[in-house]
Amino acid sequence: MNIVVLVKQVPDTWAERKLNEGDKTLDRASVDVVMNEIDEYAVEEALRIKEAQGGEVTILTMGPERAVETIRKALSMGADKAVHLSDEALKGSDAVQTSYALGKVLETLEYDLVIVGSEATDSRMATMGALLSERLGQPQLTGARKVTAEGGTVTIERQTDDGYAVVEASTPAIISVMEKINEPRYPSFKGIMAAKSKPLTTLSVGDAGVDEGQVGLAAAPSQVVEFSNKPPRQAGQIVKDEGDGGTKIAEYLASQKFV
Amino acid sequence: MASLLLSRRDLDFLLHEWLDVSSLTSRERYAEHSRETFDAVLDLAEQIATRDFAPHNRRSDIEEPVFDGERVILHDEIGKALRRYADAGLIGAGMDKGVGGMQLPAVVTQATMAWFQAANVGTSSYPFLTIANANLLQAHGTPEQVQTYVVPMVEGRWFGTMCLSEPQAGSSLADVTTRAEPQGDGSYRLYGNKMWISAGDHDLSENIIHLVLAKVPGGPAGAKGISLFVVPKFLVGTGERNDVVLAGLNHKMGYRGTVNALLNFGEGKHTPGGTPGAVGFLVGEEHQGLTYMFHMMNEARIGVGVGAMALGYSGYLHALDYARTRPQGRPADAKDPATRMVPIIEHADVRRMLLAQKSYVEGSLALNLYCGRLVDEERTGLTEEARTRAHLLLEMLTPIAKSWPAQWCLLANDLAIQVHGGYGYTREYPVEQLYRDNRLNAIHEGTHGIQALDLLGRKVVMQGGAGLALLASTIGETVDRALKEGAIASRYATALSATLNRAVEVTQIVWGAGDVALSLANASVYLEAVGHTVIAWMWLEQLLAAHGKEGDFYDGKRHAARYFFQWELPKTTPQLDLLASLDRTTLDMHDSWF
């Protein structure tokens, strides 16, 4: 079973994340970057399916040159090869444009499953699976906490508020996974060394058949119009317990519309 | 949030902007590596240390190992973390490919290990000892011994120990009494007791490989009669339980996740092959045991220095984080009591304590990595002369690389507690554990006093003073470069040069006393003075590496160098004066006067 995993490089979740004052895009230069955490689960799930059934795992990443660090990490976990879509023209692309560009690359790859993380920690859009499903005309199965793929069918347990739903589709299909699905492995030292020689194809927009006019900040259907930093944390309010502490806390919570 | 274990930024600065470790990849041993693999393995180390080692550091401190009379019980997170470490292939990181290793340069291997020591020094001890054991066997064992014992250790299936001390012989190893009787079939049977054995017994691995110092009857007296034996807990091939038993656990101030035990060899509880006695196999030649052990010991001592630095570094980062978030008091010139309180980092005295910590831990890390780089040079230097030079300089620096971090990074932990105030003294904050853990490092693998004797009594006089001369000329090269830079670097270089010259002069005075007891009486002061000189050198090197670079990180380096030269290096003046006076105060004191 051949699987493509979409992997995104994002600013470290624990770092202070900022937007550039000028073009209001994400400031990637000033922060440490990491693999989007949920994408580690996506890679792990793909590797588990591959280890059980054979096939190949391909990493697909769109991002600046530096994103190759994240691609190498996925390869050192055990993925077989990678495609890196990297072009200055893509800078500032929103989710819709990104799905267009990634869809173009996916059209050139042979796969049974595309696995994505449920959302990225930077944009928090959580739409990539759905957007690709629409563009590629392939079924999507979202919020997977378990995946079973056999023959031409893939079945997932889709997490819901009350339990889970079993959802089935024919392949090729697009699956988004959530944290409950597995515990991602660490790369091994041997994996790190092996990753150096695994195939990594870098594509420009031209190579991928992406129309340059449809991507990038200027052509983006959605724009960040304005932003402001969150206000500094204010000092807390101290409630003195004079036998009525519980009531005071309840009143406070009610005044803040928490209850 | 930035890590509170170590600073990756600092590691990258030292490894790449200063030591240029990527240049090592032009050497055959490291040819398969690149900056990319160095970065990836450091990322991996940080990740496993943060996710799997740090979370149970406190738990190991509270839930000490328990001996139920049969087996040692450890909480479950220790084994799980060690499995992750081994599965990642980190035990063999620096070892030869032939035994399953990855031939990572020693300098990068040390940086990797530092993450684990900062996160959880108790759990880190198991691989630390296993790696030291495997390296020793690889250097001095037969090919068969290497295949039998080293390979399973690299795979993480077996762990190792070092059995040197005995209840009556700690620093005085010449007085060990464990005896090894040859059996005529190439094996020996060992009888005796070994004390302070870290990782001495547990169920974390399938087997435990003890390396044991013992004397073969009829051999020379003292240190020259000591041989080295490999003694597995379970005999290889038969799986029989060897006659090595745990007599009791030591309950320690820190490092509590590391089992520490008294082991009895050959007391007869088990009878491998039908007879009592611990079955052991000679490593190398008889009576050469201490020489072999010191091969490991030098490496272990540098490793202890790395551990001391790591604990100090983590304490510093915790103190820094606390000082930035704890509001208390107002600026000295604030008149209005209604103004907002400021974070305590705004107070000069708190900055003093943070600067001291920064200068100690970053200075130590620089020395740790410099020594690691020397290990690589000793192993892969392009000429015989380069390799010999690296070996000699490493010999000279080893007692300092062990003792300076153990002393001053412990003080950093002390200051980290002080920055936290009362909270630092409670068990709710990690700094008190870091202090207790670090207190060991001035004791094990040769105490502070032993290191002082090693430096003054052995290292500075070896090969007619060639080690000291080499250290002086190497520091001199840095001084020359700094003088050419002008400005601040030039001023510090002049101060360092003067201290260095004085230290060399004092060495001659001390050894000119004509009385060995007098020459060595104040060796600890000598170690501290030369130690401070060496760390000042490390700061001058960092200052040069930061030259012309802008930003808070580099400004921080420059300011910490300023602190060290303004506040710390001058401490050597009275120390060197005391040494030059051949002061007899400690010698003249009588036991009955105490």
Domain boundaries, chain A: 3-226
CB-CB neighbors (< 8 A) of A69 in chain B: 39
**pLDDT score at B1:** 67
- What is the number of domains present in chain B? 3
Q: Is residue B294 assigned to a domain?
A: no
Q: Which domain holds residue B177?
A: 160-287
Residues B561 and B576 in one domain: yes
**pLDDT score at A257:** 86
Residues B109 and B167 in one domain: no
8 Å CB contact of B84 and A186: yes
Residues B264 and B240 in one domain: yes
Q: Which residue of B has its CA nearest to A34?
A: B43
| Angstroms from A88 CA to nearest CA on chain B | 23
**pLDDT score at B107:** 97
Residue among A14, A15, A72 minimizing CB distance to B40: A72
Whether cis (ω within 30° of 0) applies to the bond prior to A172 is: yes
Q: What is the mean pLDDT of residues A196-221?
A: 95
- Strand partners of residue A201: A83
In this model, does residue A235 exceed pLDDT 70? no
Q: Is residue B347 assigned to a domain?
A: no
pLDDT tens profile B498-552: 999 999 999 999 999 999 999 999 999 999 999 999 999 999 999 999 999 999 9
Q: Which residues of chain B have pLDDT under 70?
A: 1
Residues B457 and B536 in one domain: yes
**pLDDT score at B279:** 98
Final residue in a domain of this structure, among B243, B259, B287? B287
Q: How far is CA B315 from CA A57, B8, B182, B308, in A?
A: 42, 15, 50, 11
Contact (CB, 8 A) for B516 and B559: no
8 Å CB contact of A188 and B88: yes
Under DSSP, is residue B231 helix (H, G, I), strand (E, B) or coil? strand
Q: Which residue of A has its CA nearest to B33?
A: A193
**For the residues of B17-70, what is the DSSP string, one character each?**
IIS-GGGGGGSGGGTT--HHHHHHHHHHHHHHIIIIIGGGHHHHHHS--EE-SS
8 Å CB contact of B37 and A14: no
Q: Is residue B3 assigned to a domain?
A: no
Residues B570 and B535 in one domain: yes
Place of tokens 């001035």: B442
Q: Considering only CA atoms, which of B367, B372, B445 is closest in space to residue B409? A: B367
Q: pLDDT averaged over chain A?
A: 92
Final residue in a domain of this structure, among B128, B158, B188? B158
Contact (CB, 8 A) for A67 and A84: yes
- Report the complex ipTM: 0.84
Say how far apart CA A10 and CA B242 lie, in whole Å: 54
| Angstroms from B515 CA to nearest CA on chain A | 54
Structure letter (DSSP) for residue B534: H
Residues B512 and B543 in one domain: yes
Residues B179 and B282 in one domain: yes
**pLDDT score at B409:** 98
Contact (CB, 8 A) for B210 and B232: yes
How many residue contacts between A and B have a Cβ separation below 8 Å? 43
**pLDDT score at B90:** 97
pLDDT tens profile A43-56: 999 999 999 999 99
Crossing angle (nearest 10°) for helices B552-563 and B487-511: 40
In this model, does residue A165 exceed pLDDT 70? yes
8 Å CB contact of A192 and B41: yes
> How many C-beta neighbours within 10 Å does residue A10 have?
24
Q: Quote the percentage of chain A above a pLDDT of 70.
A: 99
In this model, does residue A237 exceed pLDDT 80? no
pLDDT tens profile A118-156: 988 887 888 999 999 999 999 999 999 999 998 899 999
Contact (CB, 8 A) for B198 and B441: no
The CATH number, out of the four listed (3.40.640.10, 3.40.190.10, 3.20.10.10, 3.40.50.620), of the domain defined by the range A3-226: 3.40.50.620
In this model, does residue A86 exceed pLDDT 90? yes
Residues B26 and B144 in one domain: yes
Query: Half-sphere exposure (CA, 13 Å, Cβ side) for B101?
Result: 24
Strand duo B260-265 + B187-198: pairing = antiparallel
Query: Half-sphere exposure (CA, 13 Å, Cβ side) for B23?
Result: 11
8 Å CB contact of B44 and A72: no
User: CATH number for the domain including B267?
Assistant: 2.40.110.20
A104 touches chain B (CB under 8 A): no
Residues B176 and B57 in one domain: no
Buried/exposed B53-70: b ≥16 CB within 10 Å, e otherwise: bbebbeebbebbbeeeee
8 Å CB contact of A195 and B40: yes
- Of the candidates B46, B395, B432, B445, the residue annotated as catalytic is B445
**Residues B71, B73, B74, B76: is their CA dihedral positive or negative?**
positive
CB-CB neighbors (< 8 A) of A37 in chain B: none
Say how far apart CA B544 and CA B538 lie, in whole Å: 10
**pLDDT score at A140:** 96
In this model, does residue A103 exceed pLDDT 70? yes
Residue among A15, A186, A196 minimizing CB distance to B44: A186
pLDDT tens profile A175-205: 999 999 999 999 999 999 999 999 999 999 9
Residues B24 and B122 in one domain: yes
> How many C-beta neighbours within 10 Å does residue B79 have?
16
Task: Give chain B's count of helices (H) and strands (E).
Answer: 20, 10
**pLDDT score at B295:** 78
Say how far apart CA B44 and CA A218 lie, in whole Å: 38
Q: Is residue B320 assigned to a domain?
A: no
**For the residues of B339-377, what is the DSSP string, one character each?**
SPP-BGGGSHHHHHHHHHHHHHHHHHHHHHHHHHHHHHH
**Residues B567, B569, B575, B581: is their CA dihedral positive or negative?**
negative
Contact (CB, 8 A) for B208 and B163: no
Active site residue B166: no
Strands (E), A151-199: 153-159, 164-170, 173-177
**pLDDT score at B333:** 87
Residues B106 and B124 in one domain: yes
pLDDT tens profile B91-146: 999 999 999 999 999 999 999 999 999 999 999 999 999 999 999 999 999 999 99
